[in-house]
């Protein structure tokens, strides 16, 4: 038994070293991971293939070393260490780059491990393990939507001058794009405290013929997957203007489902508290 465990750790360490060397080499020689290539529908195809491989490996987990590795406690420690390492790596960057090969491969590893332990642990002999399921599936959905949905996310800035409708927007990389509807600024309003600190920003806009009001923290929901945000307002030579941002994120509902599940799991974590180990010492 100790020999088997030792061998598992050695295999795991070798696999990790191999993947780390490969991802660093890919980063050095090819640059960032080509996120945009994986936009819909390719991301859906990849998800289906990935989950199929996970299910097949899990089904044959007794005979396949890789499946054993991904179900081992070492994989959990490694996944959590990867999450912490990614946080430190991105937290020390001025312009966080979440599409580098090491980050992408790290998140894919965490997601794969999560898929394995969800398959193994979502129920036991007494039924569904609700706290485990909510926490792990919630994290799986939240991470998964951010990972697989990133290529489908669009962020477009639109500069609006009062009473001049436009449908021209700019991608974050500076390239122009045409919206399939027009936006028009009808007026702006700003209020300031005596100290000069702003207290209220507001823009009246017309989106595809519909008049609406934008304020900070209150975007306009144009469709289920698209929102329009107020970024800034101003006045240039008595000509009011504002900058708005159009965010298209079709995967936002998957993220929200993950957040809701994680929230429910966190509440259960508080209410039920610890079940094992140290509580026995107390008794």
Partner 1 sequence: MVVFALSLIGSVLAWLKRERSGAAILFSGMGVVLFVTFVVSLWITLERPPLRTMGETRLWYSMFLLLAGLLTYARWHYRWILSFSTLLATVFMVINILKPEIHDQTLVPALQSVWFVPHVSVYMFSYALLGCATLLAIGGLVARSNRFDPAIERLLYSGVAFVTIGMLTGAIWAKDAWGAYWSWDAKESWAAVTWSLYLIAIHLALRPSTYNKAWLHRLYHITIIVAFCALQMCWWGVNYLPTAANSVHTYN
- The 144-163 site mask, x for binding partner 1 (CB under 8 A), equals --x------x-x--------
Residue 212 Cα distances to 163, 220, 237, angstroms: 14, 7, 25
Task: Rule CB under 8 A: choose which of 67, 106, 151, 249 binds partner 1.
Answer: 249
229 binds partner 1 (CB under 8 A): yes
Which listed range, 41-49, 51-59, 86-94, 118-126, lies at the site for partner 1 (CB under 8 A)? 86-94
Q: How many CA atoms lie within 13 A of 214 on its CB side?
A: 29
Alpha-carbon gap, residue 142 to 117, rounded angstroms? 16
Residue 277 interacts with partner 1 (CB under 8 A)?
A: yes
Question: Of 41 and 274, which has the nearer Cβ to partner 1?
Answer: 274
Nearer Cβ to partner 1, position 76 or 166?
Answer: 76
Q: Which of 176, 164, 174, 185 is nearest to 230 (CA)?
A: 185
In angstroms, what is the minimal distance from the CB of 49 to partner 1?
Answer: 26
Helix (H, G, I), strand (E, B) or coil at 127: strand
Binding to partner 1 in span 104-143, by CB under 8 A: 142
Kindly state whether residue 28 participates in binding partner 1, applying the rule CB under 8 A. no
CB count within 10 Å of CB 230 equals 22
Q: Which of 44, 81, 128, 168 binds partner 1 (CB under 8 A)?
A: 81
Q: Does 63 bind partner 1 (CB under 8 A)?
A: no
Cα 69 to Cα 61, 128, 159, distances in angstroms: 9, 25, 52
Residue located via tokens 């090819």: 30
Nearer to partner 1 (CB atom), residue 2 or residue 73: 73
Taking CA atoms, 182 is separated from 191, 279, 281, in Å, by 28, 62, 67
From candidates 80, 128, 168, 210, binder to partner 1 by CB under 8 A? 80
| Among 30-38, 52-60, 161-169, 198-206, the segment contacting partner 1 (CB under 8 A) | 198-206
| Site membership for partner 1, residue 257 (CB under 8 A) | no
The angle that helices 101-121 and 130-148 make with each other, rounded to 10 degrees, is 150
Other CB atoms closer than 10 Å to residue 161's CB: what's the count?
Answer: 14
H-type alpha helices, the chain: 2-30, 42-59, 65-71, 73-91, 101-121, 130-148, 252-272, 278-282
Q: Report if residue 281 touches partner 1, rule: CB under 8 A.
A: yes
Of 7, 164, 189, 200, the residue at the interface with partner 1 (CB under 8 A) is: 200
Q: Which is nearer to partner 1, 2 or 209 (CB)?
A: 2
Q: Min. distance of Cβ 172 from partner 1 in angstroms?
A: 11
| CA separation for the pair 35, 101 (Å, rounded) | 10
> Which residues in this chain contact partner 1 in the complex, by CB under 8 A?
73, 76-77, 80-81, 83-84, 86-88, 90-96, 98, 142, 146, 153, 155, 193, 195, 197-201, 215-219, 227, 229, 245, 247, 249, 252, 255-256, 259, 262-263, 265-267, 269-270, 273-274, 276-279, 281-282
């Amino acid at each position: 038994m100790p020999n088997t465990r030792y061998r598992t750790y050695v295999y795991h360490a070798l696999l990790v070293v191999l993947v780390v060397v490969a991802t660093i080499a890919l980063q050095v020689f090819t640059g960032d991971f080509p996120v945009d290539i994986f936009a819909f529908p390719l991301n859906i195809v990849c998800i289906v293939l990935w989950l199929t491989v996970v299910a097949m490996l899990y089904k044959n987990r007794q005979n396949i070393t890789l499946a054993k590795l991904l179900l081992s406690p070492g994989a959990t420690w490694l996944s959590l260490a990867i999450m912490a390492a990614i946080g430190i790596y991105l937290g020390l960057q001025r312009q966080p780059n979440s599409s580098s090969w090491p980050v992408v491969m790290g998140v894919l590893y965490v997601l794969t491990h999560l898929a394995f332990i969800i398959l193994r642990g979502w129920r036991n002999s007494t039924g569904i393990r609700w706290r485990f399921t909510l926490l792990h599936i919630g994290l799986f959905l939240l991470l998964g939507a951010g990972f697989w949905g990133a290529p489908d996310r669009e962020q477009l800035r639109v500069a609006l001058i009062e009473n001049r409708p436009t449908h021209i927007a700019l991608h974050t990389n500076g390239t122009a794009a045409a919206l399939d509807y027009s936006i028009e600024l009808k007026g702006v309003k700003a209020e300031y405290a005596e100290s000069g600190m702003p207290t209220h920003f507001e823009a009246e806009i017309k989106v595809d013929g519909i008049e609406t009001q934008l304020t900070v923290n209150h975007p306009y929901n144009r469709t289920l997957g698209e929102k329009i945000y107020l970024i800034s307002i101003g006045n240039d030579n008595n000509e009011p203007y504002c900058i708005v941002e159009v965010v298209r994120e079709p995967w936002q509902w998957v993220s929200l489902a993950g957040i809701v599940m994680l929230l429910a799991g966190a509440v259960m974590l508080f209410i039920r508290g610890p079940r094992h180990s140290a509580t026995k010492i107390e008794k």
